[in-house]
Structure 1
Amino acid sequence: MADSEAIEAETQEYTKWLVARIRSFHSDPLHSAAYLGNLAQFLQRPRHNSARNARSPASRDHKTNRATKEGNPPFIYEYAIPNTGTEPQLTKFNEIATYKETISDKAHNLNFNEIVFLAGRPSAEWLCAIGVRYKLDHRFFHQHLNFLPTGKRDWFTAPTLPSRSRNVLRLCIPSILFIGEHRYVNLDGLKKSRSDCDRQLRQRFRRFQEDTSTVPGQSIVRRMNIHSGDNYVIEQELSACLHKRGDKWTVLVWTDSGEEKDFDFIPGANTLKAAVDRLDFCPIFFEKDLSEKPATPPLAGTGSQTARVNQPLSSLPGNYGYTIDWRRAATDPLSTLQELFTFHAASEVQYLNMLEQFITEQITHAESMSGEPEIGSILHFDYAKSILVRHDAHIQSILCFLQSDLQDWGKAAPQTQSPDGDLLSTLQTDLGYLSTRIHNIIELCEAGRSTIMSNTSIEENKRSNEQAALVADLTKATTRLTFIFLPISFVTSVFGMNFRQFGQGALSIWLWVAITLPLLVFCIVLVERGGYIKKLLGKVLNSLGENFDRFVCW
């Protein structure tokens, strides 16, 4: 009981220290932590009475120890890594009272290295308990919850400098979500769907800080990409940092994805009219080298073949380590993240495959389209390109982390070891491949855009030429009629009807004929051979000009 009270006192002190640093802004604006104001507000939320939910820790005589209670999704997954190189022991926590009682035991995982997952939405009690347990810098929470506003306004403090980030690794995980096959949505519908989803995400981010009723462990969605009416792509993030505990260490991984049985956390666009019971996640495939003949992992359950696939990222914390060499991971903290890197690369490459297929189909459609192309289709390529550029920047940040931010990770390993060179080389090769693929697909977007613009220009030129030819024919016909009737009208207006044959005047009508016919012939020649006459006159004038110049010089 005394240990539980000590944990509660440390938890309150953990928050008070941050609040004191924030309040120092007016007296010491350079060195305060005022940008963590909203995080401090979040950590000071009213706490539930955890004592009534307290329960004794479950026994640890099994490989997987579920310290959970039915109903709430787990928020913490602890893997204690034995020094023997055997698979680690997993402990799950979904009740804060149970977790506080467990960590009050000072011997809890003291002699083991750890990898600990935090899954989904937090609560103030969870974050304070974890912060006290590992003496965490508040900036780790701030960097993962960077969608929250900072302080009283947005002070643009995330991401921060590598020297201040405590070597925090950030990974963006795209998840493809199927809606249904061959669901055509026009460009206006897609733009409306994207706007609807962005608005819903913004509303959820605003409610995140005030909402105290949400159960911890539910998923967070950062962004949503909509390329067609057949599927969504949601983007979530995970943050990893290394915490040293004397000669031991803990790798903390916080993932946006919780363990949920429904898809209510996914914003739905009214334009797509996607029924929740039709949504299905695209699996993420990665495994050990099949030539190693690994032991078959336990199946989660047979079930119906028509059952929809749940989100792969939500399954990762509870099924972690199947492809990891735990003998190496027991002493090298970077090796414990190998499966995270593999999962990230596998999800990224599947998204790139989807984008490449979609863009190729759009290019093929633009090339084979008869008639005038849809200029609005350029928006497909511009939208995909903006996402690809953002993902390439993310890949480059991970490469920078691997190249320059691994000093603390290497120091946590024994002096006889360093971060696995083969693992680093493999990770850099995979990330370099992803970056190359991204640039290739960006070039495809540019090619598709150029194809549509070229086809549009060709069609525009063709239409302009047809209109110009029509105008030229009309002008020529009008000119002919004008040159035929204008001389006649002119002669008639001059002479009037004052001819002897009509009983008026002294002139003969043959005089009218003698003047009109030559004038008519002259006009016809001028219309039909005007270009030639103009050229001939030009030569004559040039010749006269040269003779005049020679005369003047003489």
Structure 2
Amino acid sequence: MYAPNMPISPRTAQLFMAKIERLCRIWPESRFYYGQLGSYVRRARDTNPPVIRIVLDGVDSDNEDEPQFGNPEQFPSIVVTEGHPSPETVRHLALRYNLRPEFLIGHLNPERVLNRSRTSYELPALPSRRENIMHVRLVSLWRSNENSYDHPSTTAGGARAQADEDCWRYQGTLFESYGPGGETRFRKVHLHNRRHFTVEQVVSFSIYLLDSGRPLNTKIRHPWNAARPESDPNSVQFPSQLYAVRYNEPEPEDPLLADSERAMHPDTMHPYHPLRDLRNSESQRRQFATSPFFGLASLLSAATASWNQVLNFIEEDVAGHHHDTPSSIATSTSTSRCSTSRDPELTAGEALAQIRFNLGLIQRFQGFIQQTSSPSSSSSSSSSSSSSSSVSNPSPNPSPEILDRYNSLTKDYEYLLTRCAALSKSCESASDSLQSSVSVLATQKSMRQNAQFNALSQIAYFFLPMSLVSSILGMNVREINPGSTPCLWHFVVGSAGGSLLLYLLWVFRETLEHLVMSCVRYLDKRQDR
């Protein structure tokens, strides 16, 4: 993200780096933190950015009537950015607004370690320093016509592991091309089944309150405002709005990139721009000039709609497992026609794994929704007018439009949290039902295996006479075998006769059992007489 008509000369960039190095010498105990900032800024591109305009559905529009934030002499000076502060943005903020390096250090991304050989244990990016940055997660549900993971031998768990590996590989490409700015594009891909997946995206919205709204005192030569001797000491530069392009990446001059250049610009989804709706309404622009919350409300509204869509899909998938019985699971494993929300080839164990996957996904989404909605609830109960309250809470005297949006968002987020809790209970109920079905199927399988074992064990009865005859004929007893030696015919006749007798008894076992019971009842009757 860049500001228009603001070329950055190599000299000014070198002066800023020289200032950082000088501060490292003055405060050696903080050398690590200044080194972090220096290594971050060095990753910025050396080329001068072109004149950037707001990107609205791929169509550039001029910025003549953009909303302002009131008179800087009466209100705090505010800069609005979208996305994580990229190296270009950090350098531009420092060079244009003479920001203190300590301010920029406090807003570095705490989730990425920029220096592998760390000499300190923590980055100074505490939550109190980052209350002006609000991360909003959006999810989008996708359906693929041809799934690369659709293979007969590929299980759902294996397909998800492959999708996670592809996601990490693509994220590595983004980081190599854009540095930490690539983190704002997406975080994770959730593979629901063989055709449906959800892409999780992060959009950051930042409000910078520079020096509590006080203008820079250029008469005092502080380290942070003495780096630009060419500036007029009597002039005061106030922050203005930085117009955002696609998540920290510069807008290319030629949209038709060469193959070599396209490899450095991975294709990403077009981000939701919070100012897109404001361009079409004069009243909305006035509301945005009054409070930055109005621009964030559009982004939060889009996020709530995306969460609701994915929860609808998960609810349909979970509802399909509530009616799973052993017979229905057995029937679904023999069918080959796919439905819209669940894979019919799921076995009982895979269906249970699908429910647990949905439960983990709901709990993950619930945490993000609660994290996004918690600043709004905490700011509404606080009377302070800090920078965080300007993001997550309307102004002390909000207009009816802003108050209506705030109440609508509060209602929507409460509904989403309630729905996530209900879906979690539904997943637990479906999991218990599937556990019972799995137990029934395991019992039925064990009974079938026992029946097969009994059927096979009956074959051993036919070999008992053979072993008996061979044992008898193998005895060296004169009384049993006087004057003659048993031969093969004796063994065959004895074992075959015994086996035939056992076979006849086994075939007519029911008839013999009926005759024996009849005889027993007849004898009982005679005995009673």
Match 2:445 to one of 463, 466, 484? 463
1:404 and 2:384 aligned: no
Alignment match, 2:41? 43
Once the two structures are TM-superposed, the CA of residue 351 in structure 1 deviates from its matched residue by 2.6
Match 1:34 to one of 24, 29, 32? 32
State the alpha-carbon separation in 1 of the partners of residues 182 and 452 from structure 2: 70
Q: Secondary structure at the match of 1:163?
A: helix
Once the two structures are TM-superposed, the CA of residue 370 in structure 1 deviates from its matched residue by 1.8
Once the two structures are TM-superposed, the CA of residue 124 in structure 1 deviates from its matched residue by 3.9
Alignment match, 1:392? 366
Alignment match, 1:172? 137
Alignment match, 1:417? 397
Once the two structures are TM-superposed, the CA of residue 422 in structure 1 deviates from its matched residue by 5.1
Alignment match, 1:332? 291
Letter in 2 for 1:42: Y
Alignment match, 1:510? none
Letter in 2 for 1:194: D
Letter in 1 for 2:40: F
Letter in 2 for 1:256: Y
Letter in 1 for 2:312: N
Contact 1:79 1:114 in 2 (8 A): no
Alignment match, 2:91? 128
> In the TM superposition, what whole-angstrom CA distance separates every residue of 1:23-68 from its partner, at most 9, and x where no partner exists?
788x42xxx3735745531312475364xx888xxxxxxxxx9599
> Which is worse superposed, 131-140 or 5-14?
5-14
Match 1:352 to one of 298, 301, 311? 311
Letter in 2 for 1:332: S
Q: Per the alignment, do residues 67 and 357 of structure 1 end up closer, same or farther by CA in structure 2, a change over 3 Å counting?
A: closer
Match 1:432 to one of 414, 431, 448? 414
> Which is worse superposed, 392-401 or 120-129?
120-129
State the alpha-carbon separation in 2 of the partners of residues 140 and 400 from structure 1: 22
Alignment match, 1:287? none
Once the two structures are TM-superposed, the CA of residue 464 in structure 1 deviates from its matched residue by 0.6
State the alpha-carbon separation in 1 of the partners of residues 257 and 360 from structure 2: 27
> In the TM superposition, what whole-angstrom CA distance separates every residue of 1:340-387 from its partner, at most 9, and x where no partner exists?
221221222223223334444566788733267252444444444433
Alignment match, 1:292? none
Alignment match, 1:297? none
Contact 1:173 1:344 in 2 (8 A): yes
Letter in 2 for 1:428: T
Q: Secondary structure at the match of 1:205?
A: helix
> In the TM superposition, what whole-angstrom CA distance separates every residue of 1:265-316 from its partner, at most 9, and x where no partner exists?
xxxxxxxxxxx9xx9x9xxxxxxxxxxxxxxxxxxxxxxxxxxxx73x3454
Alignment match, 2:479? 498
Q: Secondary structure at the match of 1:142?
A: coil
Letter in 2 for 1:441: L
Match 1:138 to one of 88, 93, 104? 104
User: 1:215-364 counterparts in 2 under 5 A?
Assistant: 220-227=185-192, 228-243=194-209, 245-246=213-214, 256=247, 311=270, 313-320=271-278, 325-360=284-319
Letter in 2 for 1:41: S
Q: Secondary structure at the match of 2:330?
A: coil
State the alpha-carbon separation in 2 of the partners of residues 320 and 345 from structure 1: 19
- TM-score normalized with structure 2 length: 0.58
1:185 and 2:165 aligned: no
Q: Per the alignment, do residues 130 and 231 of structure 1 end up closer, same or farther by CA in structure 2, a change over 3 Å counting?
A: same
Q: Per the alignment, do residues 156 and 374 of structure 1 end up closer, same or farther by CA in structure 2, a change over 3 Å counting?
A: farther
Q: Per the alignment, do residues 322 and 193 of structure 1 end up closer, same or farther by CA in structure 2, a change over 3 Å counting?
A: same
Match 1:204 to one of 159, 170, 174? 174
Q: Secondary structure at the match of 2:299?
A: helix
Letter in 1 for 2:92: A
Q: Secondary structure at the match of 1:237?
A: strand
Q: Per the alignment, do residues 6 and 348 of structure 1 end up closer, same or farther by CA in structure 2, a change over 3 Å counting?
A: closer
Contact 1:168 1:240 in 2 (8 A): yes
Letter in 1 for 2:68: I
State the alpha-carbon separation in 2 of the partners of residues 196 and 374 from structure 1: 28
> Which is worse superposed, 381-390 or 337-346?
381-390
Q: Per the alignment, do residues 423 and 320 of structure 1 end up closer, same or farther by CA in structure 2, a change over 3 Å counting?
A: closer
Q: Per the alignment, do residues 473 and 223 of structure 1 end up closer, same or farther by CA in structure 2, a change over 3 Å counting?
A: closer
Gap runs ≥5 in structure 1? 56-64, 84-106, 211-215, 265-275, 282-309, 505-523, 529-554
Once the two structures are TM-superposed, the CA of residue 401 in structure 1 deviates from its matched residue by 1.2
- Report the identity percentage: 18
State the alpha-carbon separation in 1 of the partners of residues 376 and 242 from structure 2: 17
Once the two structures are TM-superposed, the CA of residue 462 in structure 1 deviates from its matched residue by 0.6
> In the TM superposition, what whole-angstrom CA distance separates every residue of 1:216-246 from its partner, at most 9, and x where no partner exists?
9997333333333344524233232242535
Gap runs ≥5 in structure 2? 216-237, 259-265, 334-346, 485-504, 510-529
Q: Secondary structure at the match of 2:127?
A: coil
Q: Per the alignment, do residues 471 and 416 of structure 1 end up closer, same or farther by CA in structure 2, a change over 3 Å counting?
A: closer
Q: Per the alignment, do residues 328 and 318 of structure 1 end up closer, same or farther by CA in structure 2, a change over 3 Å counting?
A: closer
State the alpha-carbon separation in 1 of the partners of residues 84 and 396 from structure 2: 39
> In the TM superposition, what whole-angstrom CA distance separates every residue of 1:425-472 from its partner, at most 9, and x where no partner exists?
433322122222223333444445445443332222111112223434
Alignment match, 2:493? none
Once the two structures are TM-superposed, the CA of residue 392 in structure 1 deviates from its matched residue by 1.8
State the alpha-carbon separation in 2 of the partners of residues 131 and 11 from structure 1: 9
Q: Per the alignment, do residues 431 and 118 of structure 1 end up closer, same or farther by CA in structure 2, a change over 3 Å counting?
A: same
Alignment match, 1:81? 68
Q: What is the number of equivalent residue pairs in this alignment?
A: 417
Q: Per the alignment, do residues 340 and 47 of structure 1 end up closer, same or farther by CA in structure 2, a change over 3 Å counting?
A: closer
User: 1:43-62 counterparts in 2 under 5 A?
Assistant: 43-45=41-43, 48=46, 50=48
1:442 and 2:429 aligned: no
Contact 1:222 1:235 in 2 (8 A): yes
> In the TM superposition, what whole-angstrom CA distance separates every residue of 1:307-329 from its partner, at most 9, and x where no partner exists?
xxx73x34544443658745554
Once the two structures are TM-superposed, the CA of residue 150 in structure 1 deviates from its matched residue by 5.3
Q: Per the alignment, do residues 4 and 486 of structure 1 end up closer, same or farther by CA in structure 2, a change over 3 Å counting?
A: closer
Q: Secondary structure at the match of 1:438?
A: helix
State the alpha-carbon separation in 2 of the partners of residues 155 and 77 from structure 1: 46
Alignment match, 1:93? none
Contact 2:82 2:206 in 1 (8 A): no
Q: Secondary structure at the match of 1:392?
A: helix
State the alpha-carbon separation in 2 of the partners of residues 154 and 200 from structure 1: 30
Once the two structures are TM-superposed, the CA of residue 147 in structure 1 deviates from its matched residue by 4.3
